[in-house]
């Protein structure tokens, strides 16, 4: 369910590090970037799935747990390494837990913001799963 991408990283202890990735590594073209900050420890966010949107999330500073749920099983991924990120495919219910104050979550998304792409009700999400909405043709 989860796919971690390791960034290319340059640098050294005395000057710090620079990490980078390109859209060809994450498998979709990026149309939007957003980031979540100023979040207190133990806060939980997310609680939704997307119908079509593909996302790539990384935590450049801090410690955040992402729980992915495909309607059948759950997986927990810890983002506490600045040099890697997580692909969040469409059709995955996701919850994010802040393990540390002020951890920053950055997200690159495959499309512009569209509230109609969100499924914010878990029962409705399970209904989409049952219908086979995300089954590959």
- How far from 49 is each of 34, 87, 115, 116, 117, CA to CA, in Å? 17, 13, 11, 11, 8
Q: In 3-state terms, what secondary structure has residue 128?
A: helix
Residue of 51, 45, 71, 58 lying closest to 118 (CA atoms)? 51
Residues numbered 35 to 74 that lie near ligand TYD (CB under 6 A) are 36, 45-46, 48
For residues 62 and 124, give the distance between their C-alpha atoms in angstroms, rounded to a whole number.
Answer: 32
119 forms part of the interface with ligand TYD (CB under 6 A): no
Is residue 34 a contact residue for ligand TYD (CB under 6 A)? yes
Number of residues this chain uses to bind ligand TYD (CB under 6 A):
7
Tell me, yes or no, if 50 is annotated catalytic: no
The smaller minimum CB distance to ligand TYD, of residues 97 and 129, is found at 97
Picking from 74, 69, 79, 71, the residue whose alpha carbon sits closest to that of residue 7 is 79
What's the CA angle centered on 86, arms 61 and 112, to 5 degrees?
A: 95
What is the x/- site pattern for ligand TYD, positions 73-112, by CB under 6 A? ----------------------------------------
The answer for residues whose C-beta is within 8 angstroms of residue 43's C-beta and 6 or more apart is 97, 98
Q: Least separation, in Å, of the C-beta of 45 and ligand TYD?
A: 4
Q: Decide if residue 113 touches ligand TYD (CB under 6 A).
A: yes
10 vs 41, beta carbon nearer ligand TYD: 41
Binding site for ligand TYD (CB under 6 A): 32, 34, 36, 45-46, 48, 113
Just list the catalytic residues: 48
């Amino acid at each position: 369910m989860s796919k971690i991408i390791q960034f290319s990283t340059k640098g050294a202890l005395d000057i710090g590090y620079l990490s980078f990735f390109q859209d060809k590594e994450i498998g979709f073209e990026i149309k939007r970037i957003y980031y979540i900050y100023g979040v207190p420890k133990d806060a939980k966010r997310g609680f939704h799935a997307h119908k079509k949107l593909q996302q790539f999330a990384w935590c450049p500073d801090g410690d955040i747990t992402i729980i992915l749920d495909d309607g059948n099983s759950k997986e927990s991924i810890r983002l506490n390494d600045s040099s890697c990120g997580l692909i969040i495919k469409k059709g995955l219910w996701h919850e994010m837990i802040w393990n540390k104050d002020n951890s920053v979550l950055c997200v690159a998304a495959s499309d512009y913001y569209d509230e109609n792409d969100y499924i914010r009700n878990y029962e409705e999400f399970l209904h989409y799963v049952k219908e086979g909405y995300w089954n590959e043709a």
